[in-house]
Amino acid sequence: MHAARPNELYAWQAARLLARRELSAVELLRACLDRIAEREPHVLAFAHLASEAALAQASALDAGTWRGPLHGLPLGVKDLFDTAAMPTTYGSPVYAGHRPAADAAAVVLCREAGAVLAGKTVTTEFAYFQPGPTRNPRNLAHTPGGSSSGSAAAVADAMLPLALGTQTAASIIRPAAFCGVVGYKPSLGRVPRAGVKSLSETMDVVGGFGRCVRDVALLGAVLTGDQRLNDEAALAAPAAPRIGLCLTPDAPQMGADSQAAWAQALRVLAPAAARMADAPWPAALPGLVALQKAVMAHEMAHALSHERTQHSAALSERLRGLFDEGMAIDGQAHVAKLQATAAARGLANAWFDDFDLLLAPSTLGEAPAGIDATGDPLFSRGWSLLGLPCVHLPFARGSRGLPVGLQVVGRWGDDHRLMAAAQWCMARLAG
């Protein structure tokens, strides 16, 4: 038997039922579409909903053989990913009605594994700071975060079990934190970026959202092709990890709600961890936040040269301001910043000689009120620059009742170990 409302199932639970034919893809999709009909007028998570095409795809899956780990699972696709059968606007009027010739590689991988493409989810303008219409489903008067706004909101509100996102600064971890879902940013380079609007060669990462760690493990295994991420034995009985406490140099900017979540995590995890100790910030590490901002500004200004030069009037002031900053950094200065980035990535490995994961803040606190901004990306900028895998864990509530959590960070390429450790942490924090 399964829950009265299939859309409320975790993705991994639904996947098992679908594989055993105890739940049909059409039944699950219809439950999601019913939820979307109920909530989308308020949350505004979708840039395009492909109900009829998705129902046809689900029906074909029910009539055919099992396709793979995502068989029959409805999936939201951030509107930064190219999709041939659906409009792709990158969150900008410049691309209204745009239809790419092919799907992004990550979209194809998910469809190949049996996912049902339910629609495109709202992104901020070119995944930068100008927000779209999406509201936080936990409180409609608050931002859902960005830039993967619609993906996080749709998963949080049980409209979809899974959704794709991207991160260059904080675009997976921050909306996951604000909406109260699990966000997974893989190690840099682990997921193909072909067919995703390029912003920063140095930092762009494809990842996604689920409502529990096992859900993003399922999605992550498909995206990376590494089945160790979804190792059922490792996720069912993960070993106690060595946890490094890494508040980062920006710790003084943590709000009271994030501080309370931090104290709660230490209180709960310390007695059971294999080890828990401070993980000091290496003195030789450069100022990662400033470095990340500069690298992103230069690379976005150049990657979006067509938009910058041909469609400036259609762009927001925020984006034009970023372009001005980026174009003021010449190529020689950018090379020096890339060298500093490479050196920082080498230094970061030393953390994981002593720890299996780092525990770190995700956001300053709860989602801010209002939808004219997406919140501060401060606590993810450095990890994005370092290219390390991150998982946001939602386990607490702030003073206004909105979600608060922390992120865990792993060694580059050790996504499967991070995922098992994240499951260990979440099992205790959620209890």
Average pLDDT over residues 151-176: 98
Q: Which domains does the chain have, with CATH numbers?
A: 1-431 (3.90.1300.10)
* 21 pLDDT more than 60: yes
Confidence class for position 431, pLDDT limits 50, 70, 90 = confident
Q: Mean pLDDT across the stretch 415-425?
A: 98
> Which residues are tagged catalytic?
78, 147, 171
> Are residues 289 and 250 in contact, defined by beta-carbon separation less than 8 angstroms?
yes
Given a cut of 60, is residue 10 above it in pLDDT?
Answer: yes
- High-pLDDT (> 70) share of the chain, %: 99
Tell whether the model's pLDDT for residue 2 goes beyond 80: no
pLDDT bucket at 273, cuts 50 / 70 / 90: very high
Taking residues 201-214, what's their average pLDDT?
98
pLDDT of residue 144: 98
Question: Does the pLDDT value for residue 98 go beyond 80?
Answer: yes
CA distances from 326 to 120, 236, 299 (A): 29, 46, 7
Give the tens place of pLDDT for each residue, 343-388: 999 999 999 999 999 999 999 999 999 999 999 999 999 999 999 9
Confidence of residue 158 (pLDDT cuts 50, 70, 90): very high
Residue 1: is its pLDDT beyond 50? no
Average pLDDT score, the chain: 97
Judged against a pLDDT cut of 60, whether residue 279 lies above it is answered with yes
